[in-house]
Amino acid sequence: MNLLKSDKFINEVISYIKFPFDREDIRKELEDHILDKMEYYDSRGIDKVTAEELTLRDMGNPKEIGIALNREHNFVLGWIYKITNALVTIFLIITVFTVGISLISTIFSGNPAKHIAKEDIVYDIKVNEKVKIDDRVIKFKNVIYEKNGDLNIIYEYYDTKPLGMGWSLGSIGTIRDNLGNEYFVSSGSSSGGIVTKGISTISNFSDKIDTLIIEYDMYNRYYKVEIPLKTGDLNE
């Protein structure tokens, strides 16, 4: 604006606004309102100087306007709003960063059974078993039997809650066969990320067993999975 009286009027109004971040927005609103009002008088043939004087008269007392606007743009509430926005922004940045790291970790974690040589595999059974406990989804992917008698259970799990906030899966459960034999996991590993991939290995597993049973019964949570295995001539 190139109107000295209007600039003086607006500056006086702004001087009563204590919250600094709202001053430019208020200035812009006042300028737009004054210009709109002057255009109204201009459309009725009134000269620019008179139109400005009439507009400022219609606006009212700048001190009263400034005090009223200062109440609306409360200093304390304004800072609370700004701080809250800043905290939300920081939280979003941290969330995006955390999810990004987890996603990268999931992508590059690879196959937990990649250390098993193909020539050492007797059979590799594709498993399509999925269970859910609370907000945790567990998928059993493969069962790989090796020539040395190791049976490898490949699985993955993820949490349906945001950021994976849930209880940890310490064990996939008790492992048995159809003959009632119970087995202990001799080794295992898992890689984190949005989807955690794991492998549990049982040593000295007989090639005569035709069904693998995984049963989880802990902390009032339960599931049971039965996986048919290959036996007989296929293993010889």
Residue 143 structure tokens: 């069962």
pLDDT for 190: 62
Can you give the pTM of this predicted structure?
0.52
- At residue 106, the pLDDT reads 47
On whether both 186 and 82 belong to a single domain, the answer is no
Asked if residue 168 and residue 209 are part of one domain, the reply reads: yes
In a domain, 109, yes or no: no
Same domain, 130 and 198: yes
pLDDT of residue 236: 42
pLDDT score recorded for residue 18: 85
- At residue 187, the pLDDT reads 74
Domain endpoint, select from 74, 102, 130: 102
| Whether residues 97 and 120 fall in one domain | no
What's the CATH number where 124 sits?
2.60.40.1640
Q: What is the mean pLDDT of each run of 10 residues along the chain (236 residues)?
A: 79 88 88 91 90 90 88 67 69 62 52 86 92 89 93 89 58 89 78 78 90 90 91 52
- For residues 121 and 220, state if they share a domain: yes
Residues 139 and 226 in one domain: yes
Residue 90, pLDDT score: 75
- Let me know whether 142 and 91 are in one domain: no
**Do 123 and 70 fall within a single domain?**
no
Domain boundary among 70, 102, 134: 102
> Alpha-carbon distance 66 to 72, whole Å?
10
Does 82 fall in a domain? Answer: yes
Q: Any idea which residue has 């109440």 for tokens?
A: 71
Q: Of 102, 135, 166, at which residue does a domain stop?
A: 102
Residue 129 lies in a domain: yes
CA dihedral 101, 201, 157, 126 (to 10 degrees): 110
Do 94 and 183 lie in one domain? The reply is: no
Domain match, 179 and 81 both: no
Q: Are residues 146 and 214 in the same domain?
A: yes
Q: Is position 107 within any domain? A: no
**Quick one: 86 and 196 in the same domain?**
no
Domain that holds residue 150: 115-235
Total of domains in the chain: 2
